[in-house]
Structure 1
Amino acid sequence: MKKVGIWIIILIFLLSLAGLSGCGSGSGSSGKPATHLTFATAGTGGTFYPLGGGMAKIITKYVPNTQVTAEATGGSVENARLLDKGEADLAFVAGDVTYEAYNGLGDFQNNKKKIAALFATYSEPVHIVTLEDKPINSVLDLKGKKVAVGSPGSGTEVKARALLNALGITYNDIDEQFLSFSEASDALKDNNIDAAIMAVGAPASAVMDLSAVRKVKLISLTPEQISKVKEKYPYFTESKIKKGVYEKIPKEADTVAVPIVVAARADLPEQTAYDVVKAIFEHLPELEAVHNVAREITLQTAVPAVIPLHPGAEKYFKEKGLTWK
C-alpha cells in the first residue's frame, strides 16, 4: 500500500508540472504560442510612454495570444531605427521623422527605413507666440526679430526651420535663439526675445505659464501660407489652436501641425497589424482613461498617416468605409 501511495504522489506531481507548462508565457489560452510585441515609446516623462503603455494593455487584453510590452526609448528617431532593425514591432514616431525615415531624408539621409504607418494619433501644433504689445502680427513680421526656435537639434527646431523655410524666411532673416520651451517663456517674460516658435501639444504648460503673467497673442498663418508649408513639407497638416484652449488668450490661431504616428516594422504580419488597429479603435474610451490626449484619436483623423499604411491597417480602415488620397 505504501508503494501505491508513493506512485500516486509522483503521478499527481507530474500532472501538476504538465499543467504549469501549458500556462507559461510562451503560450496563449488556446495553447498556441503567444505573439510578443515590443512597443517603443520615449522617455518616461513625456506623453509617448504612458499612452504607449495604455495601448499595450489594450492590445494584450483584446487580441488573443498577444502580449505587448511598452518600452522607454530615446524617442522618434531611435524608434524608426528600432523598427527598421526589427528590434521593435510598434512605435510612436513624429510625423516629420516618419516621413524622413521612410524617404531617406534628414537624419536618415540616403538610408530609407523599412517602416509602415498604422494610424495617426494626436497632433503637435506649431505655436508662434509673442506678446500683445509686440509689433508682430504675421509670420513675416518675424524678420529682424529675436525668435526662439527650440533647443539645438530638437524636434521643434527642425519644424521651426522647415516652417520658416517654406515661407521664404531663413535664419539669416532673424536673430535665432536656441531655447527650450521654458527658457523661451522666461525670455519673453523678461522681454529678452520678441517671439517663440513651439511645436507642442496644446495646451502647452510653457504658454500657460507665460500667459499667466503677460498678455500673449498667437500668430496665425494665412490659408496661402498653410498651403505653401504643406506643399513643401507633406508631413505638416492644417491645424487650429481653438479659442478657449488657453484661458487668457482670447483668439484662436490657424497653424500647421505634425501628427504623431503609430508605426510598425514593415514586415509585421498583416493579421497582427489588423488586430492591433482594431483593438485600439474599438476600445478608445479605455485609452482616454489613461491620457486625455487620446481624445484626439478618431477614425476621421487616423488616415492619411504621412507614409503608406501597413496592409493590415489599410484593411481595417477600408472596412470602416474610410477613403484617403
Structure 2
Amino acid sequence: MKKIGVLVTVMLFLFSLLGLTGCGSGGEKQGGSQQGDGKTANHLTFATAGTGGTFYPLGGGMAKIISKYVPSLQVTAEATGGSVENARLLDRGEADLAFMAGDVAYEAYHGLGDFQNEKKKFFALFKTYSEPLHIVTLQDKKINSIMDLKGKKVAVGSPGSGTEVKARALLNALGITYNDIDEQYLSFAEASDALKDNNIDAAIMAVGAPASAVMDLSAVREVKLISLTPEEISKVKEKHPYFFESKIEKGVYEKIPVEVETVAVPIVVAARADLPEQTAYEVVKAIFEHLPELQTVHRVAKEITLETAVPAVVPLHPGAERYFKEKGLTWK
C-alpha cells in the first residue's frame, strides 16, 4: 500500500509539472504575444543592414508604421550584414521582411553571381529609393567619358562591397575589365580623400544622391560627374536587367551645375516566399498609405511613390500584387 501511495504521489506531481509548463493550456501562439485586447500579435523580423547605413533607420521607420497601423502585427527591425545576408535569411525563413539592393535580389533569385547555382526563394514587395552610379573625377583630369577610365587609377569600392560588384558589372558591360584600369579598392570616404590628394583619377560610387563623399570632395576640389551615353546605358541594361536609366538632377550637388545621365539599381523590400498573402497585403498597404509619416524618418523615403513601386526586379508577392492592382497599377 505504501508503494501504491508513493506511485500516486509521483504521478500527481508529474501532472502538476505538466500543468505549470502550459502543455495543452492554450497559451501564446508561437511567434506571437498577447495584446491588451486579448488578440495575438504576430511578430515579424525586418532584416536591414549595419546601423550606420540607410537600411537600418528606414527599416526601423517602416517597422514602426506597420506595427502602428496593422494591429495584428508587431515588426522589429534588426541589423544584419546587408543585402547578401538578407537574401539568405529570407530563404531560410529566419527573416520575414528585408531590404535588398536590386542587383543582389536579381542574382539571388536567379542563382547568379554570389549565389551561383543556389537560387533563393523570396518575393519582392515594392521598390523604394535608388542608388545611381556616380562616376566621379576632377575638372582638371582628362576624363570626359567612361572609356577615358582606361589606363587610369579608379576607385571601385571596398573589397566585396555592393559598389564593387556594381562597378565591375558596369565596366564589363561596356567591354572594360580590371585589366584595362588600375583598380583601387577604396570606400567612399577613402576615394574622396584619394581624389583630394590626387592619388587616384576617378571613383565609381553606387550611392543615393546627394552623397556626402561627393559633397565633401566638391567643397575643396572642382568636381565633375561623367555621364553615360544613351548607347552605353542600353548596353548596360541589356547585359544586367537590374539596372535602369537614371539621372542625377541638376542642382542636387550645388557645385556640379549639370544633369548627369547614368544607371541605377533600385532598393527593394522583399518578403519570405511563404509569408501569408494577407500579411503581405497589409504590410504594403500600411507603408503606402502612410508615406508622409515615413518621410520624416529619412530623406530617401521621399523617393518612395506608388507610381515607382513596381516592377521590382523579381516577381511580386501575391499580397503585394493584389494591393497594387487595387490601385490600378500595371506592369510587365
Matched, 1:62 2:65: no
Tell me, yes or no, if the aligned pair for 1:123 and 1:257 is still in contact at 8 Å.
Answer: yes
Hey, what's the Cα distance between the residues in 1 that align with 2:199 and 2:72?
Answer: 57
State how far apart, in whole Å, the 2-side matches of 1:86 and 1:52 are: 18
Partner Cα distance (1:154, 1:65) in 2: 37
Q: Does 1:112 align with 2:119?
A: yes
Aligned equivalents of 2:195, 2:259: Cα separation in 1: 20
- Picking from 298, 302, 310, the partner of 2:305 is 298
Residue correspondence of structure 1 range 128-139 to structure 2 within 5 A: 128-139=135-146
Select which of 212, 222, 240 maps to 2:219.
Answer: 212
Shift of 1:64: 2.3
CA distance in 2: counterparts of 1:292 and 1:55, whole angstroms:
14
In the aligned structure 1, how far is the partner of 2:37 from the partner of 2:278?
17
2:21 corresponds to: none
> Counterpart in 2 of 1:172?
179
Displacement, 1:240? 0.5
Kindly provide the amino acid, as one letter, of the partner of residue 186 in structure 2. Answer: L
Give the Cα separation in 2 of the matches to 1:253 and 1:45.
28
Q: Deviations over 1:178-200 (max 9, x none)?
A: 11111111111111111110001
Provide the rounded CA distance (Å) in 1 between the counterparts of 2:250 and 2:175: 29
- Aligned twin of 1:225: 232
Instruction: Show the counterpart of 1:90.
Output: 97
Distance 2:239 2:323 in 1: 30
> Residue 43 of structure 2 aligns with which residue?
36
Correspondence 1:1-325 to 2 at 5 A = 26-28=33-35, 31-325=38-332
Q: 1:164-220, CA deviations, whole angstroms, 9 ceiling, x for partnerless residues?
A: 000111111111111111111111111111111000111111100110011000000
Distance apart, 1:295 and its partner CA: 0.3
Amino acid of the structure 1 residue aligned with 2:311: P
Measure how far apart 1:30 and its partner are.
5.4
Q: CA deviation at 1:117?
A: 0.1
What TM-score comes out, normalization by structure 1 length? 0.91
- Equivalent position amino acid for 2:287 in 1: I
Give 1:96's aligned amino acid.
Answer: D
Secondary structure (helix, strand or coil) at the match of 1:300 reads coil
Paired positions, count: 303
Tell me the amino acid that sits aligned with residue 279 of structure 1. Answer: A
Shift of 1:27: 2.8
Percent of residue pairs identical: 85
For 1:238, the aligned partner's letter is E
Q: How large is the Cα RMSD of the aligned pairs?
A: 1.2
Q: Which runs of 5+ in 1 are unaligned?
A: 1-20
Provide the C-alpha distance between the structure 2 equivalents of 1:292 and 1:152, rounded to a whole number of angstroms: 28
Cα separation, 1, equivalents of 2:77 and 2:134: 30
